[in-house]
């Protein structure tokens, strides 16, 4: 399987809606494996098919050591609100505060077409909502009132002075490690 390039903001394919998956064949398994390899290589906590240029209802989420392969996922129940930092592998170098549901229940199919249900709170709940948004052509920045709400977290390049970025995050009362961890959805 392969690590593939992740499309970034400005590529119109990020705005396509994922088509429902009806055939659970080798092509689907190949796509899911590519999503997983590319997410882990980033590294990230989630990746959706449109981010690889495939307009299909497929995404992966990995928080902790639990890998979720989600085909045709939909939120069936949600409770509470949770405002926290969030970022995206397609918008490298930034995070912002986004209000999400605090607890979500998702029904999806696995790679064989079998239905299952998963519940998530915290980072898992946020990652599920974030990836499901990707399948609707939606990005977290769509929730921001202004681009000024974007907070730079650095891109991890060799040529940047990470201490400047960290100092600015701390000035805003943000833990730099946490900001970098959530910047990868
Ligand atoms: Ni994303």
**pTM given for the model:** 0.93
Residue 174 C-alpha to ligand 1 middle, in angstroms?
A: 20
182 against 42, higher pLDDT: 42
pLDDT (0 to 100) of residue 47: 98
pLDDT at 156 over 70: no
24 Cα to the center of ligand 1, angstroms? 24
- 4-18, 28-42, 45-59, 154-168, range with the lowest pLDDT: 154-168
Contacts of 181 (CB under 8 A, 6+ apart): 45, 123
Stretch (H or E) spanning 116: strand 115-121
Residue 125: Cβ within 10 Å count: 26
Residue 174 has pLDDT above 80, yes or no: yes
pLDDT at 113 over 90: yes
Q: What token pair was written down for 11?
A: 């590529």
How far does the centroid of ligand 1 lie from the alpha carbon of residue 132, in Å? 9
Provide the β-strand partners of residue 79: 103
């Amino acid at each position: 399987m392969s690590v593939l390039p992740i499309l970034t903001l400005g590529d119109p394919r990020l705005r396509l809606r994922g088509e429902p998956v009806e055939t659970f064949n080798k092509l689907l398994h190949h796509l899911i494996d590519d999503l997983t390899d590319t997410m882990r290589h980033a590294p990230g906590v989630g990746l959706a098919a449109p981010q690889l240029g495939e307009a299909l209802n497929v995404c992966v989420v990995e928080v902790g050591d639990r890998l979720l392969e989600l085909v045709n996922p939909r939120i069936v129940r949600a409770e509470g609100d949770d405002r926290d930092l969030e970022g995206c592998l397609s918008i490298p170098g930034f995070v912002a505060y986004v209000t999400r549901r605090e607890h979500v229940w998702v029904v999806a199919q696995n790679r064989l077409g079998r239905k299952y249900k998963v519940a998530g709170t915290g980072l898992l709940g946020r990652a599920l909502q974030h990836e499901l948004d990707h399948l609707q052509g939606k990005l977290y920045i769509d929730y921001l009132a202004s681009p000024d709400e974007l907070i730079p977290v650095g891109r991890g390049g060799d040529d940047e002075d990470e201490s400047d970025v960290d100092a600015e995050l701390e000035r805003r009362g943000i833990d730099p490690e946490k900001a970098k961890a959530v910047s990868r959805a």
